[in-house]
Amino acid sequence: MTLAPADRSCPTLDTDPFSSEVLENPLPFQQALREAGPVTWLSRYGVYALGRHAEVHAVLTDWQHFQSGAGVGLSNFRVEKPWRPPSLLLEADPPHHDAPRHVLEPILSPRALRQLRPAWAENAEHLLEEVLASGAEVDLVASIAQAYPLRVFPDAVGLGREGRENLLPYGDHAFNAFGPANELVAKGLPGIGAVAGWVNDQCARDRLSPGGFGAQIWAAADRGDITHEQAPLIVRSLLTAGVDTTVHGLAAVLYAFATHPQQWQRLRAEPGLARIAFDEAVRLESPVQTFFRTTTADVRIGETVVPAGQKVLMFLGSANRDPRRWAAPDVFDLARDPSGHVGFGMGIHQCVGQHVARLEVEAVLTALAHRVRRIELTAAPVRHHNNTLRAFASIPARLVA
């Protein structure tokens, strides 16, 4: 591996963005990255990094020059063997990427999800009833942000009841594995064989109940839209990308409201703002903080020529707080238009499951707005460190009914 950039006309930072210090609070590093310039060499890992909205957006929408097929983690699949067979969606480029994408799009479209809405809304109302009955002081992470997606999403996929406790550890490891092989990855390794074995087993056709997202993927294989070899890997994408992301997205919006009580009053007065609130929380918190592309040719970013075959690390969380793009970027504000944030990515790989996440969060926020006057922190929230995700271990709070 070459650790020196071929062209030295860009600034260098030697900070480790995956250190526990930066993961605990990434904002000072992100600001330094944005201020260093449009592109910066991270000497610690031998990769280029982008922290400003304009360049992150440009790279996300240029799959021709910034490929995903060499992996969207630090590891280059052309050089190193991936820890699991690559995703057919995330870690693929056109034309291979397109058939799996086109299969998943209608299954997860707003139109297809309409039939889930009444049951998901009712489910959120029941969950909140239970949470409020359990006492006024709760951990918003365990009791809502984890509990709700784990109630509705595995059922929607069509998973059996047994073994669902593997879903969060599997996602946590997968998102750690996009980063360097640090202690966060090491901590997951001893258990990952069993956890991944369970996940892979659930992708088989006979494990998935009729009508669910999983069965619909298999039906697409029967129609010939994808092969029967591809089907289980596409189901695996749902199980990898669909749980932890939503959990931490929900935690982000709950934390935002707990720390911005006036915005909570605004949502209660106008529950239709739930969708904007979620996008604004995704912008502010960026549950998916980073991932990589790999250059397919020499490409110029700012004044710097990035050589072919180099990893480029995009800091979505930094782009989403770039003052060049956002007024008062650190403020959670339902009056702003958060569209254009890159928290769900952008371009051909933009999150295909975002409508599922939106429906889940809308159901929870609507039920909360009906029942809860105030959300108050009762102790300092505790962060959960992950190489890719900005996450909470706990958010102790009081829900005032």
The end-to-end CA distance of the chain, in Å, is 57
Q: Confirm or reject binding of residue 89 to ligand QZP (CB under 6 A).
A: yes
Q: What residues form DSSP beta bridges with 291? A: 314
Smallest distance from ligand QZP to CB 8, Å: 31
Report the residue number, 82 or 271, with the smaller CB distance to ligand QZP: 82
241-271 per-residue burial string, b: 16 or more CB within 10 A, e: under 16 = bbbbbbbbbbbbbbbbbbebeebbebbbeee
Smallest distance from ligand QZP to CB 236, Å: 6
Subset of 322-361 contacting ligand QZP (CB under 6 A):
none
| Beta carbons of 298 and 305 less than 8 angstroms apart | yes
Smallest distance from ligand QZP to CB 82, Å: 11
Give the binding-site size for ligand QZP (rule: CB under 6 A).
Answer: 9
Checking DSSP bridges between strand 47-50 and strand 290-295, what pairing results, if any? unpaired
Among 33, 60, 90, 281, binds ligand QZP (CB under 6 A): 90
> Residue 11, exposed/middle/buried by CB under 10 A (0-12, 13-18, 19+)?
middle
Smallest distance from ligand QZP to CB 175, Å: 7
Report the residue number, 56 or 128, with the smaller CB distance to ligand QZP: 56
Smallest distance from ligand QZP to CB 56, Å: 13
Report the residue number, 245 or 295, with the smaller CB distance to ligand QZP: 245
Report the residue number, 22 or 351, with the smaller CB distance to ligand QZP: 351
Subset of 202-261 contacting ligand QZP (CB under 6 A):
237, 240-241
Which H or E run contains 27? helix 27-36
The structure tokens listed for 44 are 């610690």
What is residue 348's DSSP assignment? G
Checking DSSP bridges between strand 47-50 and strand 311-315, what pairing results, if any? parallel
Report the residue number, 37 or 317, with the smaller CB distance to ligand QZP: 317
Q: Confirm or reject binding of residue 59 to ligand QZP (CB under 6 A).
A: no
Report the residue number, 90 or 128, with the smaller CB distance to ligand QZP: 90
204-229 per-residue burial string, b: 16 or more CB within 10 A, e: under 16 = ebeebeeebbbbbbbbbbeeeebeee
Report the residue number, 105 or 137, with the smaller CB distance to ligand QZP: 105
Q: Confirm or reject binding of residue 288 to ligand QZP (CB under 6 A).
A: yes
Q: In 226-296, where does DSSP find H-type helix?
A: 230-241, 244-259, 261-269, 274-285
> Residue 167, exposed/middle/buried by CB under 10 A (0-12, 13-18, 19+)?
buried
Among 120, 153, 213, 291, binds ligand QZP (CB under 6 A): 291
Task: Report the interface residues with ligand QZP, using CB under 6 A.
Answer: 72, 87, 89-90, 237, 240-241, 288, 291
